[in-house]
Amino acid sequence: MVKNKSKWKSAMLIVGFLAPALIVALGIVIYPIINTIIKSFQDPSTGAFTLENYSYLFTNKLARAHIWYTIWVTVLTVVLAIFFSYLLALYLRFSNSRIASVIRSLYLLPRFVPVLVAVYALKMVLSDSGLINRLSMLLPESWALHNFKPGLLYNAKGIILANLWFNIPFATMIISAALSGISSSIVESAQDVGAGKIRIFFKMILPLSISDVMIAATFVFMSNVSSFTTPYLIGANHPMMLGVYLRKQFSSRKYELAAAVSCLIFLFSSISAIVYIYTNLKEKAWERD
């Protein structure tokens, strides 16, 4: 009886602790999402159930171009960001130099710079009359690089560069945390028995950090597949990222189509989130053994 009472008490405690956050999450996350999903299946004029919005996205030539463009810009961002972050994280983990400690204290800042500010700063450097171009104007006129126009804005290159600016610090942070969990002594003992650097990396460091790499990749994917500000300010008009396309549909009052675009992006994110969940569960299973 006493035990039952304390069980009931702790259940009430849990509910009480969780309720405010859950109510807010239901109101500003779950309810809007459900609304959007319903809307994406509605006919704009009658409100009846239809697949028209989705079939438009998959058959319209422009919309399909936007979808493919979004996927390849995002995938390229993820691959490049993870590659450079891994290199940087390895360097930060295994170098004792002063330079490494300087970078360690500086690399997190970009994560805390508002997107808008960073995009603006990058624009000032990369634009065809920006800092890079002005530097090239200092070169002798006979040189080919004189008045060099980077041509990095209003196309995929600019978006990817800006994405890397935001995501390398983030992914480096996640991967560094994983690498710092690998003790130096096991690496050293592998070296003692004659394992080469490449072998140690592929047999030891990579397997021990791969789950965190997947976590980093998931978040990089999710934040970039739906990005709006960066492509809106420095991306092209055609093809455009789905986030910008969504906004455009919304402004022209095609709410149902906008909802379908939202759900499509959500679907892409969910696929990557499944990778995340799977990695997390697998890790937990491993810990249990």
Contact positions with other proteins (CB under 8 A) in 21-40: 21-22, 24-25, 27-33, 35-36, 39
DSSP secondary structure letter of residue 121: H
Q: Of 180 and 189, which CB lies nearer to other proteins in the complex structure?
A: 180
DSSP class per residue in 216-252 = HHHHHHHHHHT--HHHHHHS-SSS--HHHHHHHHHHT
113 lines the binding site for other proteins (CB under 8 A): yes
139 lines the binding site for other proteins (CB under 8 A): no
Question: Per CB under 8 A, which of residues 152..191 are in contact with other proteins?
Answer: 165, 168-169, 172-174, 176-178, 180
Q: Binding residues for other proteins, how many (CB under 8 A)? A: 99
286 lines the binding site for other proteins (CB under 8 A): no
Name residues whose C-beta falls within 8 Å of residue 126's C-beta, 6 or more positions apart in sequence.
Answer: 132, 150, 152, 153, 158, 161, 234
Question: Per CB under 8 A, which of residues 220..259 are in contact with other proteins?
Answer: 222-223, 225-226, 228-229, 233, 242-243, 246-247, 250, 255, 258-259
Q: Of 131 and 203, which CB lies nearer to other proteins in the complex structure?
A: 131
CA distance 134 to 125: 9
What are the b/e assignments for 99-113, b being 16+ CB within 10 Å? eeeeeeeebeeeeee
Min dist CB 92 to other proteins, Å, is 9
86 lines the binding site for other proteins (CB under 8 A): no
Question: Per CB under 8 A, which of residues 47..76 are in contact with other proteins?
Answer: none
Amino acid occupying residue 169: P
| Residue from 215, 217, 240, 257 binding other proteins (CB under 8 A) | 215
Sign of CA dihedral 253, 256, 262, 264: negative
